[in-house]
Amino acid sequence: METKEIFINNKIRIGGDNRIVLIAGPCVIESERSTIEHAKKIKEIAEKNSIPFIFKTSYDKANRTSVNSYRGPGFKKGIKILEKIKNKIKVSILSDVHEKDQVDKIKDIVDIIQIPAFLCRQTDLILKVAETKKAINVKKGQFLSPNDMRHVINKIESTGNRKIILTERGVSFGYNNLVSDFRSLIIMRNFGYPVCFDATHSVQLPGKAGDSSGGQSEFVFPLAMAAVSVGVDAIFVEVHENPKKALSDGANMIPLNKLEKFINSIKIFEKAHIQSGCC
C-alpha cells in the first residue's frame, strides 16, 4: 500500500512512492565530539550509497533500567549539541521528548519529534507535540497491538497535524524478550501513514543484564531485511563506532564499519519488494 508522503525539512520525503529513508545514529549523546563525528561519518556513508538520511540521537534517555545508568548530557546541553550538528553537518535530525515542557524548546531544532514507546499513550504529551505541526515519529509501545495505533493517530489528527510516522520496535514476549510481528507493518501501513521498522530496539532484551538491557545484535540484519521485504518507508538503526564501549544500548547496535553493508542489503531487498508488487 502506498502511504501518505511526509516532507522533512523540504529535503527528505518519507512515504508515498519514495525510496526507503535511513534513520541512524548513536543511542545517546556521549560527548559533543563523538556525536558530531558519528553524524559526519554516517552522512558520508549514506551519501556514498545514495540513501536519504536522518540523524538520530538522544539528549536524555529517561527510561534507563537503573538509576545509575548513563542518561546523556541533559536537555540544555544536549539540544545545543543537536543544533550545532544541524548547522555544521547539514543533516535533518530526529530526537525524542519525554516531557511537555521540552517540546517548545526543541521544536525549532529537530525536524522530527519522536514519542518514545513507553509514552505512546500519554495523551497530553502527544497533543503537545502534535500542536507544533512538526513531523512526529511515534514508536509503538511493546504493550500495544498494531491496531491500537489508530487511537494514537486520532489524537494527533485532532490537532490538524498529519505528519505522522509509525514505528514498529517489537512486542513483549514474556519477560526479558521481544518479538517482531511483521503483520504489524502491513496493518499500520493500512492506516495510510509511513511506517518505520526499528531494527536495533527490536533485538533488545529488556532488563536481561540485571541492571541494564541486553540485546542480540546478530539479528539486526535479518530482521531489517525481513521488514524491507514486507514493505516499510524507513529503517531505524542505532550505530556506534564501538558498540562494546557504548554508554547505552551497545548490545543492540551495529558497528559503524558495517553500516555500508547494511545499507546495500536494504537496497537489494527494497528492489525485490518493489519488483514483487507485494503489500
pLDDT < 50 stretches in the chain:
none
Look at residue 63 in the predicted model and tell me its pLDDT. 84
Look at residue 1 in the predicted model and tell me its pLDDT. 72
Helix axes 32-48, 259-276, angle to 10 degrees: 40
Integer CA distances (angstroms), 23 to 13, 69, 135, 219, 265, in order: 12, 25, 14, 18, 15
Look at residue 173 in the predicted model and tell me its pLDDT. 93
Look at residue 149 in the predicted model and tell me its pLDDT. 98
Helix axes 32-48, 75-89, angle to 10 degrees: 40
Look at residue 64 in the predicted model and tell me its pLDDT. 81
Provide the 10 A C-beta neighbour count for residue 84: 15
Helix or strand holding residue 21 (H, E): strand 21-25
Look at residue 212 in the predicted model and tell me its pLDDT. 73
Look at residue 84 in the predicted model and tell me its pLDDT. 97
Look at residue 161 in the predicted model and tell me its pLDDT. 98
**For the segment 66-117, what is each residue's pLDDT rounded down to a tens digit?**
898 999 999 999 999 999 999 999 999 999 999 999 999 999 999 999 999 9
Helix or strand holding residue 239 (H, E): strand 234-240
Residue ranges of domains in the chain, CATH in brackets: 3-276 (3.20.20.70)
Look at residue 278 in the predicted model and tell me its pLDDT. 78
DSSP type of residue 58: B
Look at residue 227 in the predicted model and tell me its pLDDT. 98
Instruction: Catalogue the E-assigned strands of 77-194.
Output: 92-96, 112-115, 135-139, 164-168, 171-172, 178-179
Integer CA distances (angstroms), 256 to 83, 162, 242, in order: 23, 33, 8
Look at residue 263 in the predicted model and tell me its pLDDT. 98
- Nearest CA among 193, 163, 204 for reference residue 16: 193
Look at residue 11 in the predicted model and tell me its pLDDT. 85
Look at residue 65 in the predicted model and tell me its pLDDT. 83
Look at residue 164 in the predicted model and tell me its pLDDT. 98
Look at residue 114 in the predicted model and tell me its pLDDT. 98
Within 8 A by CB and 6+ apart from 278, the residues are: 230, 231
Look at residue 182 in the predicted model and tell me its pLDDT. 97
DSSP type of residue 29: -
DSSP states of 242-259: -GGG-SSSTTTPEEGGGH
